[in-house]
Every structure is written in structure tokens, then in C-alpha cells.
Amino acid sequence: MTFLPRRISLTLAAIAAIGTPLLTVAPASAASLGKPGGLAPNSSTAEYKDPVLSWNNVAGASSYLVQVSRSNDFSDTTDLVPLPGNGVTTVASLALPQTLVHANYWWRVQAISPSGRSLWSSPAQVDRAWDDAPSLTGSDPTGDATTTPGSIATYPWRFAWSALPDASSYELEVSTDPTFPQPGETQSGKKPDGIVTVLCLTTATSLTPYENDQKDTPDIGVGPCNFSNFDPGHDPIFWRARGIDDSRSATLKAANEQHDFACFGVPTEELSGQETTTLEALGEPPTKIPGHECSRWSAAKSAPYFTTGTGSAATPGSVSGVTLDCPAGSGGADFACVSTPEISWDAVSGVNDYAVTIADDPAFTNVEHTYVTPFLSLTPRDQLANYTAGKGYYVAVQSCTMDLCGTATVKTFTKQTPAVNGLSASQVQGGVRLTWNDLNARFGATAAGDPAVEAVYYKVQVARASDTTFASPLGALTQLVDASCDTTTTTCYAPQAQNGTGSDQVTIVPTRDGSYIWRVMPVDLSGNVLPAAADTHAFTVDVTRPTLSIVTHSGIAINHDITIKASEPVTGVNANTVRVVLKGTKAPIAGSLRQGATPTLWVFKPAKPLDTGGTYVLNVLPAVADLSGNGAVVSGAGVRTTLLATNRSKGWNYSSSWHRHSASGARSGSFEASAAGGTATINVVGSEFDLYGCKAPNMGTIKVTAGGHTTTVSEHQSFTRCGVLILHKPLPSGEQRVKVTVAHNQGSIDELKVR
């Protein structure tokens, strides 16, 4: 079997699979496990967007149980927060789900071992919030007046802001009121109605507004983002922006975290005081994103009112200076635009508005959108699909009066969003971690006004290696992954994994070993599936846990070696990690373990004779694992020793008064005899036993003790005969010691047979 190499850059951790049952452990044994300490984060004021809880390792712990509560009363189960894997992790850290609403939480951790649990740690606090905000630029009278010809009053509004690492889109709010009135506040009647306040959603980091959209289906986003009725009344306007994390992950939603996303305004406010602005305004976009998480609002900026043309021209003139702000990405000649471009043009005297039409054919028979705006530029918020094989988009810009539009000036562009790159796969405990560079890392959109980072989420598909066209991707392994794992300050929501900036990842758990291929396809806010990486990436899965079993057949002598076999190569095997124990007990049998004839065989040599009739099984510790990190498990029923103990058996312990005598009639060809006071003991396991001896005129009585009861047996008779059944006796379960004591005259032992 072929295995993936381990990646040192990834923390190998047990991925807490959604729905993993809570571990069952023995009653608490606080004396054997120390209480976890060093809990971090532990603050009610420091805010974390993607918090990863961590603590100090506890010696002897095989796993940990984490509890997160909305209060410091952990006994109130209604306050406990559902966690991935029910809060069980095999490493000293646990990432909180991104679906966790913004609030202060209490958390604690308990160490677990096969023998018990530790005391709970002292509780710590964590503040789940998104403490970040864009920086604004554009529409600044001081800056714009020095770089734009003409009066600031005639310069169009162009709103721009810096990119946030975790944002997949942005909300822009433009208002006539500097307080930005919101629904539910005391300023009744002042709401985002398109007149007082306009809300827009975009994946770009800049937006030049337009008045209306003449297509039946408006572009997606917050309401219509329509400035047709926006009326600042010749007064300055006010605007601000905030980032939105459009989390979309089937894995996260399956974590039983029932809280839908909201935009919280001030992240630290209590749940009862959440703002409902974006929940009410956004609705649910066509991509069916389940919710939204918002950053803090930026500091607000103001911009002056502007004036438009007089509309006195009888015949509108042609528009000149049409420019598509369409910077090339890293794909070179493969495409000209990486996102929907910003369109700008020169002013035409005497017109009211400008019409901008985008089509995907030169005859403009298949129109994507038509926009009307009084400004000299606009930024379509909806994202156009990628085009290949020479196809592209056609942009017509016309100047218009109230009754007539002039001759169109046509420009063309092609759009091809770069595919993700840097795909790699790494075997981790419990699955395979798939990692890639997201579009932010590929294109590097970080500054204000950069083109959109278009992935709202990623669609990861896995198929059998033979299905090279992904005709039948494995539905159970198709994942929708949140596009927010590109932060430099904290770890992302990929449990126990450290991520560098620009790295997205998902852990999948195939149920069958084999060879697979996979691909990643970004999905934009309009629902367009963007191109996958051109090359095929493969990985081999090994999720089957290796087995260790005793292959020596039952019926072995009590001093016989025991052979142990692994189903595949494993590491960590030694006398401390692979133990032979008597079934039903825990104490390991003393002995030595050596390598066998092959790398998957080991031989255990007992240090002293085993019990007659005893069944011996393996006890394998978690340190034993295959080359993929899957922990070994025990297989098979073990081995049972011989049921027969002749008088020569190494299992008998005779006092010095016993002597062996040959006898043709004895079952073993001989027997042991002792004068009064002699004792002999043997350890056995079974439901009953038969004791054989010799009867003769010189024999007396013996006492046989087993299972706490003593039976007196007479071996005296008038003639000599060996091989005689002198006692049949039942046995309690488990290991029992049989003791024979010569009570009078002489006694004998031929053999003992266990059932």
C-alpha cells in the first residue's frame, strides 16, 4: 500500500469528525491525571474571529474533553455550545466553529485516559468577535480635487476601501444621515429604503454607483443597490463599509450549531442586542448562502453633492474616452480581466444620463445588463461568468437625453478568473487534508480599489482515480468550503491546523482505501462556478486502522512462545506498547518481545509458565500506528493454552517432599507422590477440572482446595491402580489456584485436565 508523505508544515492532529460519539471512559481517576492548565485564550476583552482553544499537554492523557458555555455555570446544559466531535480531541487544542455567534464564552477542559478522567481545569474566557474594519479612500474632496480635472461637484462618487483577509464580500452603506439610521432604532422612518439610505453588497473593494438596472432580473446584492431614488437634497452624503464573511460549509452547518449568522454591528454586544441591519437588508442571495458574519464598520467618510448635465443637447454626442479598468492577473495572455471591470468615460455636454449595456455577442442580441447612470463611471456588482475559446463581452456606452441616446461607443473584454493553485494533500489522523492557495493569494487583492477576490466559497470534488473527467464525483466527499482561511493573525477553521495567509483547506474522511483525484472550483457571489486547476491532483487514502492479532494456535504448552502479527507495517511496537494479558485482566504478562521473521511479526516469550487453560489476548496502546498515523486495534480471539497438565507440567509447583515414579498404568506414564504435609499448586482457567491419581494400599487422603472450597479425597484401596479419576470439581470464572495437600499417609498426582 502506498502512503502519503507527512507534511511537517501541517500540525498532524486528530480531526474531530462531525458526529463523533463522546468517548466512554472509566470512572474518574483524578489521582492519575493532572488537571489541564495553561488555557489560552483567556480574556473577556481580546477579540478572536477564528479562535483556537489550547492548553498544556497532560502526561498520560489519551484525549481531552472541551466544554464551552454561554455562562460560567457549566452544570446548566442549556448554556453549553455544541462542538465538533462533541468537544473530544486527541491533541491539546480545539478550533471553535465559525458558526458560533459573537459573544463572550466560558470554556474548560478535562484530560482523559483509559483509566479515568482528570478534574476539570479552571474556567477560561474567550470573546468571539471580528475586530477588524476596512480603511476608506475615494470620494474625498481634499484628495480628489487635486487629481481630477474640473470641479469636485461634477466628479462622480467612487467609493473604495482596503481589503480584509477574511472578507469574501463587502457591504457599502450610503446615507444622507451621518448616524446611518438602522431598522429598530429610535429614528423611525429613516431606514435603508433607497431614499435616505442605500445598501450595496459587492465582492470588489470599490464601487461607483449607478441609478437603475433596466433588466428584469436585477443584479444580486443588498436590495437593488439602486441610487435612482436616493435624494441627498444637495447636501453632503455619508458612507462607510464593512467586510462580510459569507460562510458556506456543509461541514460547519452539520456541527449542530443552530445559530444563523447575523451582522452584529458592535461584536461585543449581547445576543439580545444584535443589530438586524444586514439580516433584514440582505435577505438570501441566489447562492443560498446560509448567513453572514460582519466585521466592524469602517470610520465614516463624507462626500459632497454633485450636479449632472443640463439635458439641453438636441442630439446626444458620442461618448469618448471609454476605459475598462481591467488589470491583468498573473495568467498572462490567457485572459485580460480577472473580474468584472470598472467602466468609465468622458463627459458629454448637455446630456442627463449615460446608458451602459453589456452583452456577450457583437450584435447585442444577448444582453447581460443595461445600466443608466448620471455618473461618468460605474462598477457592475454582479460577476460575469468566465469565457474561453476567444469569446468575450461587449460594452456599449451611450450618452442620453430625456428622449434620445446617441451613437454607442463599443469596447470588448474577455474575463478569465485565475484558477486556484498550490494544491496538495496530506494524510492526517482520521482523513486526508486537502490544501490550496485561494484567489486572494493568487491575485493579491489587498489595497483599496483592487479587483474582486471572487470566491465566496470553494467547491471541492473527489473522484476515483479512474474517473479523470469527474463524471461521477463522490457525493459524500463533495465539500463546500468557507473562503476565509487566509488570515495572518489567527488560525482558520480547520481544527488543529495552522494556516499561512492565502491557504484554504478542508479535511475529508473517505470510508474506503484507494486512489483518488480531486479538484477545487471557486464559486462567486453570482453563483458562477469558476475554473478548476488544469492539472489533476491525486492522493492515496489509508483510513483503515491496522490490526494486531495473536496467530499462534490454541493448545500451546504453557511455556510456549506467542507469535503476534500486524496486518500492515506499523511503528511504535515494543514490550511497553504491545502487551499480552490474561483475558479478563489488565496486568501484562511478564516476558520479552522480539522481532519475528518479517517486519510484521513479533514473538513474545513468557518469563514464567502461563495458566493451564488460560486464554491470552493483546493489549495495544495508542502509540502503535501504521505509516499513515492510523492507530492499531486488536483483532482475533487470542490463544488458549493446553487444557492438560501432566505431573511433569511446568505449571505445577511441588514442595520438596514430592517424588516422581514411573507407572505403566499412569495416564502420563508416571505420577508424583508425597508423604503427609506435602503440597502442590497449579494455576488454571476453566469451568471445571478433573484430577487423576493413583490409589493403593499405602495411600491415604489428600485435600484439594479450589475456588475457596476444600474437598477431602481418599486414595486408599486394597489394590494398586493409577490413572484413576479421584476428583471432578467445578471452577469459578477467571484465574484459579488449585492446591493439593497430603493430609494422611501418602498422596499422589497423575495429571489434571481443565474444561
Per-residue HEC secondary structure of 445-508 comes to: CCCCCCCCCCCCEEEEEEEECCCCCCCCCCHHHCEEEECCCCCCCCCCCCCCCCCCCCEEEEEE
283-317 residue pLDDT tens: 333 333 335 677 788 888 888 776 555 556 678 88
- Averaged pLDDT score across all residues of the chain: 76
Confidence of residue 458 (pLDDT cuts 50, 70, 90): confident
The three cell numbers locating residue 572: 511504535
Q: Strand 562-566 relative to strand 547-550: parallel, antiparallel, unpaired?
A: antiparallel
- Tell me what the mean pLDDT of segment 667-675 comes to: 95
Q: Of 74-83, 102-111, 448-457, where does mean pLDDT reach its minimum?
A: 448-457
Residue 742 has pLDDT above 90, yes or no: yes
For residue 602, pLDDT beyond 70: yes
For the chain, percent of residues with pLDDT exceeding 90:
35
The model's pTM = 0.60
Residue 94, pLDDT score? 81
CATH class of 547-640: mainly beta
Percent of the chain with pLDDT over 70: 72
Residue 692: pLDDT over 90 = yes
pLDDT at 417: 73
Alpha carbons 351 and 731: distance in angstroms, whole number: 108
Confidence of residue 99 (pLDDT cuts 50, 70, 90): low
Report the Cα 192 to chain-centroid distance in Å. 38
pLDDT of residue 498: 38
What does the chain come to in residues?
755
User: Which has the higher per-residue pLDDT, 148 or 720?
Assistant: 720
C-alpha cell at 329: 492577473
Q: Give buried/exposed letters for 379-413 (b at 16+ CB in 10 A, else e).
A: bbbbbbebbeeeebbbbbbbbbbeeebbebbebeb
Q: What is the largest CA-CA distance in the chain?
A: 146
Per-residue pLDDT tens digits for 726-740: 999 999 999 999 999
Least confident stretch, 426-430, 440-444, 621-625: 440-444
Q: Look up residue 51 and give its amino acid.
A: P
DSSP string, 407-449: PPEEEEE-B-PPPPEEEEEEEETTEEEEEEE-HHHHH---STT
- Which pLDDT score is estimated for 333? 39
User: Which residue type does 39 have?
Assistant: L
Q: What is the pLDDT of residue 281?
A: 32
pLDDT band of residue 86 (cuts 50, 70, 90) is confident
Nearest C-alpha neighbor of 530 from the set 277, 337, 256: 337
Q: What is the pLDDT of residues 162-206, one digit of tens each?
A: 877 667 778 888 888 888 865 444 333 445 566 788 877 777 777
CA distances to 260, 336, 443, 468, 597 from 388, in Å: 38, 11, 19, 21, 61
Q: Residue 271 corresponds to which cell in the numbers above?
A: 445576543
Q: How far apart are CA 511 and CA 526, in angstroms?
A: 34
As given in the structure block, the three cell numbers for residue 413 are 473584454
Separation between Cα atoms, residue 430 and residue 16, nearest integer Å: 8
Architecture of the 421-541 domain: Sandwich (2.60)
Is the pLDDT confidence value at 148 over 70? no
Strands 124-128 and 47-48: parallel
Topology alike, domains 547-640 and 644-754:
no
With a cut of 70, say whether residue 100 has pLDDT above it.
yes
Residue 59: its pLDDT value, please?
A: 86
Residue 244 confidence (pLDDT): 77
Backbone phi and psi for residue 627, each to the nearest 5 degrees, phi listed first: -70, -10
Query: Which residue in 363, 358, 339 sits closest to 418, CA to CA?
Result: 339
- Residue 26 scores a pLDDT above 50: no
How confident is the model over 518-553, as pLDDT tens digits? 998 887 766 777 778 766 688 888 778 899 999 999
Mean pLDDT of 265-284: 32
Is pLDDT above 70 for 269?
no
Q: Is the pLDDT of residue 223 over 90?
A: no
Reported as a pLDDT band with limits 50, 70 and 90, residue 561 is very high
Q: Which three cell numbers stand for residue 447?
A: 489595497
pLDDT of residue 132: 80
**Strand, helix or coil at 147?**
helix
441: left (phi over 0), alpha (psi -120 to 50) or beta: alpha
pLDDT at 382: 60
Alpha-carbon span 326 to 341, nearest angstrom: 5
215: how many CB neighbours lie within 10 A of its CB? 15
- Angle, alpha carbons 325-327-328 (nearest 5°): 150
What pLDDT shows up at residue 153?
41
**CATH domain 644-754 topology:** Jelly Rolls (2.60.120)
For residue 364, pLDDT over 70 is answered with yes
> Which pLDDT score, from 0 to 100, does residue 454 have?
60
| Residue 93 or residue 588, greater confidence | 588
Compute how many other C-beta atoms are within 10 angstroms of the C-beta atom of residue 482.
Answer: 25
Query: What distance in Å separates the CA atoms of residue 54 and residue 58, rounded to the nearest whole number?
Result: 12
Contact 603, 562 (CB under 8 A): yes
Region 494-502 average pLDDT: 42
The pLDDT value recorded for residue 445 is 52
- Identify the pLDDT of residue 702: 97
**Which CATH architecture best describes the domain 1-129?**
Sandwich (2.60)
Which has the closest alpha carbon to 638: 585, 561, 582? 582
For the chain, the domains span 1-129, 136-303, 323-413, 421-541, 547-640, 644-754
Cell of 588: 501484562
Q: Which three cell numbers stand for residue 327?
A: 488589470
**Is 254 a residue whose pLDDT tops 50?**
no
The architecture in CATH of the region 323-413 reads Sandwich (2.60)
Identify the residue with better confidence: 656 or 263: 656
Do 75 and 108 contact (CB within 8 A), yes or no?
A: no
